[in-house]
Amino acid sequence: MTGMVLDLSTDVVALTEAVVDVESVSRNEQALADAIEAALRACDHLEVTRLGNSLVARTDLGRGERVVIAGHIDTVPLNDNLPVRNDGTMLHGLGTCDMKGGVAVALKLAAGVRDPNRDITYVFYDCEEIEAVHNGLRRIAEERPDLVEADFAILMEPSDAAIEAGCQGTLRVEVRTHGERAHSARSWKGVNAIHRAGEVLRRLEAYDARRPVVDGLEYHEGLNAVLISGGVATNVIPDEAVVTVNYRFAPDRTEEEALAFVRDFFDGYDVTVTDSAPGARPGLDLPAAKAFVEAVGGEVKPKFGWTDVARFTVLGVPAVNYGPGDPSYAHKADEHVPIEHLRRCEQTLRSWLGAS
């Protein structure tokens, strides 16, 4: 195998820099996947499987418990933020926060923790930042669910080096209003669909967000217009307008319950679903989760947003988000990760896995 070589024996900061500098915008992950595969196959204590541009590496020590440590290797598009820059306190650059810092931590563990107190499955997958149909973890779960069977999972998404449990579900719908075309000079001969969209926006403006408590954590829902379109020409009364609405719902609601709420909220309008993904309950009452919370220090926050912990929940595997970086800097031009977070996350996970 040719191409870039990743040295997994190097310091986690240097490894993060190396991983970040391999550009891997979604659908362009092959070079980084090749480098990760070569590095993992050099570890004789791991069984490595590749599916497309996703890698699964597993220990098989017969331990009484198995955990998954997972991270996606793709990023959002470039924004004049490569190569990586190290200012001594932060690493700046595309993917430093979301989530190549977490990937580097997981790679360090995969290479260095040879005799863990739990069996470990490491997952490095592609296409997380684009449509769910392309998601590498989804592909693994559908084609080889045996590879991700576990008692507990940790997704290395940026979480300020603290535990963010569960996640919100997400639903996107298009709310359509209909009218009748006419020349704008004779507007009374038609019905303006864009004007009719005003009521859709008024309902959204008056929305009172739910804030349910789920497994001891308070989630804050959101229902928002994120796109609006309509119009035929500047001299034509439009006969259709579309408001795209995103509903971020707490994990006490199923996808079906979320859709029922949205359809009822927009009663009288044409509602079309364009994307949907379930939430994930925190699952903090399970033994593996309790042990991890204790190792991190006991602080747990709810996850606002959707992550692939929901995919593990569907598989019956409780999961949390835990990784370096402030998630509010994900996808930003000034994306960065604190060097202290990288070191802390690596050491915390090493200790939890019984390594020095």
Q: Which residues are catalytic?
A: 74, 128
Q: Taken in order 329, 335, 338, 343, is the CA torsion positive or negative?
A: positive
Residue by residue, DSSP assigns 39-63 as HHHT-TT-EEEEETTEEEEE--S--
Could you list the beta-strand ranges (E) of 95-234: 119-125, 152-155, 163-165, 169-178, 182-183, 213-214, 217-218, 222-230
Q: What is the chain's Cα-based Rg?
A: 23
Secondary element (H or E) of residue 247: strand 240-249
Confirm if 297 and 185 have CB atoms less than 8 A apart: no
DSSP state of 280: B
Residue 188 corresponds to which amino acid?
Answer: W
Residues recorded for the chain = 356
DSSP state of 223: E
The Cα–Cα gap between 343 and 117 comes to 21
